[in-house]
Amino acid sequence: MRITRTLTPEDRAASPYLELPFEVPAGTPSIEVRLSYDRGQGVIDLGCLGADGFRGWSGGARSRYVIAAGSATPGYLPGEIESGVWAVLLGLHRVPAAGVDVVVEVDMPATGPAESEPTAPPVPERRPRRTLPADTGRTWLACDFHAHTLHSDGSFGRAELAAAAVEAGLDVLAVTDHNTVSHFAGLERIGSHYGTTLVPGQEVTTDRGHANAFGAIPWVDFRQPAESWVSHVESAGGLLSINHPLMGDFAWSHPLKTRPPLAEIWHGSWLDTRWTGPLAWWNAWGWDTVPISGSDFHNPEDGRPLAVPVTWVAVESDLGPAEPASAAAVIDGLRHGRVAVTSAVDAPVLLRADGELVAVGADGTLLTDRYGNRRPVHGDLARFRAADGPYRLETPDAAVVAITP
C-alpha cells in the first residue's frame, strides 16, 4: 500500500499528529512501514498504532520500521499482529509554508527483517564506589537520570549504554527513550549483568516541552494534555520530572494545575554555571520540587557525556562496595527527596546527613543559602547547621558546583 500526502501548515494547525489508517488481515505475520520526504524541507516524525493501541515511536530518528510477533525495530513493540485497523502515526514537527510531500509505504508481510541491537560488549572494570556520609542504613548512589538508546535517537544499544555507565562511574542510569517503552524489556537483566541499576523511563516529548516518566509504568500518551501525564504517571506508581525547562525551542510551556514532583534543574547543556537561569526557574516554580539532573546522553560525539552532571540519591540500603540497588529503591529515594546534585561523579558534593549539611571535597567553595548568604568551606569534609533549602556550593567567581534541596 502506498499513501501520498502534501502536509501543510494548515494540517499542522489542525493537529500536530496525523493518523494514516490501514487494514491488517487476520494471519498477517509482520508489517513494514517506510516513510520518505525531503528532510531539507521539514521534520516529520514516525510511529505506529495497532488495532489494540500503541505499537511504537521513533520520532525523526528512523524512516522504516518492522513489527512482527517475535521481533521489532527498536522503538517498536514486538507481539501478535492483531487484525483490524492499524495506523501509521506521523508527527508534524516542522512543516514549511510551502508544505512538504510525504510518501508512506506499507508492506504485509515485511520485505526484510527488523533492525536489531548490537552485540553486547564485555563487562568493563568498575571503579570503586565513592563513599559519602549518609544517615544510618542508607547509601548514596551516583545517578544519571537522562539517556537514550537505539530505541529512540541514541546510538548505543542498551547493553552498550550499561557498559558505558559502568565505565563512567555511575551506580544508576535511567534509560529514557522518547515516547516509547520498547526498551523496558530486559533492562533489569542487562543491568544485573553489568552490575549497575538501569531505571526504566520514557521521555514524554513534544515541541512544547519534555518530561521524564520514571518507573516500569505503561506508555504515556504524549498526544494528550500534559495534565494527563501527571495523573497517569502518579496513578501508575511512577514519578514525573520536567526536563530542561529552559532548553531552546522546546523549553517547558505546557500549562499545569498539578505540578510534577521532580524537575531536571541541572541538564547536560548547563555549561556556564555562572548563569543561574535554571536556579531562577526552580525558585519561580517552587522549591518543594525535588531537583535532579541528567546528561541527556545520545552518543559519544554530541558533547554530552554520561555522568555529567550527577544526581546522588540516598537509598534505604546498606549496599556492598559494588552491589547494585533496585530501581524501586532509587525511585523511592527520589520520591522522598533524598538527593544531591553536582557536576560529576568526583566533583564537590553538598548533601544532608545526620541533620546537617555536609560539603565533601569542596574546600575553597562558598556555601550559599536561598537568600544569597555565603559561608566559606574549609577542608575536604565540612559540616554546617542545616535549615530550609535549597543550598548550593559556588566557586569564588560564582559558578555553581553543587546544589541540594
Q: Is residue 251 part of a domain?
A: yes
* 71 plus 145 within the same structural domain: no
Q: State pLDDT tens for residues 236-278.
A: 999 999 999 999 889 999 999 999 999 999 999 999 999 999 9
Domain boundary residue, one of 328, 347, 366: 347
* 100 plus 10 within the same structural domain: yes
Q: Is residue 215 part of a domain?
A: yes
377-398: burial string, b at 16+ Cβ within 10 Å, e else: beeeebeeeeeebbbbbbeeee
Domain boundary residue, one of 63, 86, 107: 107
Domain boundary residue, one of 316, 347, 378: 347
* 100 plus 153 within the same structural domain: no
* 161 plus 291 within the same structural domain: yes
Tell me the C-alpha to C-alpha distance, in Å, between residue 193 and each of 122, 146, 174, 182, 199: 10, 21, 16, 19, 14
Q: What is the pLDDT of residue 102?
A: 99
Q: DSSP states of 176-222 as a string? A: EEET--TT-TTHHHHHHHHTSEEEEEEEEEETTEEEEEESS-PPP-T
* 91 plus 209 within the same structural domain: no
Q: Is residue 339 part of a domain?
A: yes
138-167: burial string, b at 16+ Cβ within 10 Å, e else: bbbbbbbbbbbbbbbbbbbbbbbbbbbbbb
Q: Is residue 129 part of a domain?
A: no
Q: DSSP states of 121-184 as a string? A: PPPPPPPPPPP----TT-EEEEEE--B--TTTT-SS-HHHHHHHHHHTT-SEEEEEEET--TT-
The CATH number for 35's domain is: 2.60.120.380
* Consecutive 10-residue averages of pLDDT for the chain (405 residues): 98 98 98 98 98 98 98 99 99 97 99 97 94 95 99 99 98 99 98 98 98 99 98 98 95 97 97 97 97 98 95 89 89 98 98 98 98 97 96 98 98
Q: Is residue 83 part of a domain?
A: yes
Number of domains comprising the chain? 2
* 304 plus 187 within the same structural domain: yes
Q: Which residues contact 45 (CB under 8 A, 6 or more apart)?
A: 57, 58, 59, 60, 90, 91, 92, 93
Q: Is residue 43 part of a domain?
A: yes
Q: What is the pLDDT of residue 38?
A: 97
Q: What is the pLDDT of residue 319?
A: 77
The CATH number for 315's domain is: 3.20.20.140
Q: What is the pLDDT of residue 249?
A: 87
Report the C-alpha gap between 403 and 405 in whole angstroms: 7
* 98 plus 144 within the same structural domain: no
* 161 plus 233 within the same structural domain: yes
* 54 plus 169 within the same structural domain: no
Q: State pLDDT tens for residues 160-208.
A: 999 999 999 999 999 999 999 999 999 999 999 999 999 999 999 999 9
Q: Is residue 80 part of a domain?
A: yes
CB 304 within 8 A of CB 365: no
Q: What is the pLDDT of residue 318?
A: 72
- Strand pairing category for 262-267 and 290-294: parallel
* 290 plus 155 within the same structural domain: yes
Q: State the cell numbers at 291.
A: 531537583
- Of 82, 89, 103, the residue nearest 34 (C-alpha): 103
Q: DSSP states of 5-51 as a string? A: EEE-HHHHHH-SEEEEEEEE-TT--EEEEEEEE-TTT-EEEEEEEET
* 152 plus 98 within the same structural domain: no
Q: Is residue 363 part of a domain?
A: no
Q: What is the pLDDT of residue 46?
A: 99
- Of 196, 135, 166, the residue nearest 318 (C-alpha): 135
* 324 plus 178 within the same structural domain: yes
Domain that holds residue 92: 2-107
